[in-house]
Amino acid sequence: MEANQSSGISTPADLKPDDFRKIGTDEKQAEIIQRESISSWRDAWQRLCTNKMAITALIVLLFIVIAAIVGPYIAKWVFNYNYYTNDLLNTNQRPSAEHWFGTDDLGRDMFVRTWMGARISLIVGLAAAMIDLFIGVIYGGVMGYFGGRVDSIMNKFSEILYAIPYLLVTILLLVVMEPSLPTIIIALTITGWINMSWIVRGEIMQLKNREFVLASRSMGAGSGRLLFRHLLPNAVGPIIVTVTLSVPNAIFAEAFLSFLGLGVQAPVASLGSMINDALTGWLYYPWRMLFPAIVISLTMLAFNIFGDGLRDALDPKLKK
């Protein structure tokens, strides 16, 4: 309302006490900051492109995602295999022209199963990581920024949640809800985000007394803006590291649930549960463990290298 008035250029003679306050809360001032940070995304992308390792990792990741999507169809078109039909006369076959990745203990084609498993694991890992990121960053940010009583209460709440036996929650969830992929993802994220929130909290606590925060606060930045425009972007390093770790964590947590019989239901399998199944005989049927393990490890490797690249590109402190 009043802001319109102050947009004009004034001579010193016109100065009134009111004008000083208005400039600080001016919407347009904030707009300028926002526009600048949009261009910093493009800037980050350009910096990412110069990082060969990161780009290679991104290509590998894309390749795995595409393979997870089309791999099962290829096997269907070429050989008419699917992930569930058993062939009990051809169990534990070595990789061959017919079965590119060999067959498993029920004679199922490992090529189809590996990519189906990759599909499941990627969905589980990515979905869980994104939910962890979303909840964890907001929760941790709020905790760290406000401090004091808000922090104490929210912190305690997360600790309680973290300490509640996770298995009990999962068992109950599976009783109440249909045992399906979304249920498992929910089970994984119920406590999964907490680690992220603690990391973010620690970072924010450390950052919020820095000079640049003080500066923008004295210029009148609101809490939300301070948190999302200044504090969080500066904590992006640990956040990205934690995200890239929460993907494998979710994938392996799912494998652990499978181990206890609470994971995805057979005949569908995730990479983790396939490795788990193959573990006892891996010396004799190495392909049953090797292919899923290679895909899972490659995914993680690519993820982490890309994450590092992203971190380097995004981190405002690394700008030169």
H helices of the chain, in order, are: 3-6, 17-24, 27-49, 52-79, 110-146, 148-163, 166-176, 181-207, 211-218, 223-225, 232-234, 236-259, 271-278, 286-314
The reply to whether 192 sits near another protein by the rule CB under 8 A is no
Select 18 or 159, whichever has its Cβ closest to another protein.
159
179 binds another protein (CB under 8 A): yes
Q: What's 15's DSSP letter?
A: -
Q: How many residues bind to another protein according to rule CB under 8 A?
A: 87
Residues 4-43 that bind another protein (CB under 8 A): none
Does residue 305 bind another protein (CB under 8 A)?
yes
Under the binding rule (CB under 8 A), the answer on residue 139 touching another protein is no
164 binds another protein (CB under 8 A): yes
**CB-wise, 185 or 302, nearer to another protein?**
302
Query: Does residue 198 interact with another protein by CB under 8 A?
Result: yes
Q: Which stretch binds another protein (CB under 8 A): 29-37, 117-125, 127-135, 167-175?
A: 167-175
Interactions with another protein, residue window 244-303 (CB under 8 A) = 244-245, 248, 252, 255-256, 259-262, 265-267, 272, 275-285, 289, 293, 296-297, 299-301
- CA 259-120-57 angle, to 5 degrees, is 110
Among 9, 13, 165, 218, binds another protein (CB under 8 A): 165
Question: Quick check: 265 and 219 in contact, CB under 8 A?
Answer: no
What's the min distance (Å) between Cβ of 130 and another protein?
A: 18
Quickly count: other Cβ atoms within 10 Å of residue 284's Cβ: 8
Residue 136 engages another protein in binding (rule: CB under 8 A): no
DSSP string, 221-283: --HHHIIIIIIHHHTHHHHHHHHHHHHHHHHHHHHHHHHTT-SSPTTS--HHHHHHHHGGGTT
Is residue 163 within the footprint of another protein (CB under 8 A)?
yes
If we measure between CA atoms, which residue out of 170, 162, 161 comes closest to residue 188? 170
Site for another protein in 46-105 (CB under 8 A): 53, 84-86, 88-89, 91, 105
- The reply to whether 209 sits near another protein by the rule CB under 8 A is yes
